[in-house]
Amino acid sequence: MTIHREGRTLLFVLLVVLFAINWAVGYFFPEARIAQNILIGASLFFYVIILQFFRIPVFQVNKNERQVLAPADGKVVVIEETDEPEYFKSRRKQVSIFMSPINVHVNLMPVSGTISYCKYHPGKYLVAWHPKSSTENERTSIVAKMSNGTEILFRQIAGALARRIKWYVKEGQPLQQGDEFGFIKFGSRVDIFLPLTAKVVVKPGDITKGGKTVIAEL
């Protein structure tokens, strides 16, 4: 396991701040041993929570051009047939994965392909499970075109807490299934739009692992 680059500065600053607070309490209130111990315990707990949020697990991606892998850790909250108005402008199967603050927040390519579309949209910060969050919240829409011509759209969506979307791809860039394409800080959602012919193999409530869980077969 490694620590994501998006969290390294934050973790360093947080460590310095927590150390300073604990040192100040110990220096100015030397008799308050119980309070010092409680503060130390709370500081360690808080730091570990933030640390695990930025972790990057190491695992082997089982690449398969006929499968769509989960782009993120989280829980399946939506599976439905819907209109996709931004890029396809037609009916698609949508699978949405909600990422809680305790999930790994690295976003991974669900398929291998070339980025044929990438656009950032400023917007609102509705809770990530809100029905309109997919079209009204701050978001980034990315489309990967596979070698057989099939295109898959995946959308990073900010939530009420997550207000920092990062994406590392550009149009024309080739990427492999399981490669990192982005990161969302502190709770969010990822929508995947599939062809109507795709067979979704997950169900609402299922827990996904980014780059490992198969969510659909093409």
Cite the active site residues. 188
| Residue of 9, 3, 98 whose CA lies nearest to 58 | 3
CA-wise closest residue to 187 among 131, 127, 114 = 127
59 phi and psi angles, rounded to 5 deg: -155, 165
The answer to whether 76 and 204 are in contact (CB under 8 A) is yes
Tokens representing residue 215 in the block: 């969510």
- Plot region of 33 (φ>0 → left; ψ -120 to 50 → alpha; else → beta): alpha
What is the three-state SS of 175-203?
ECCCCEEEEECCCEEEEEEECCCCEECCC
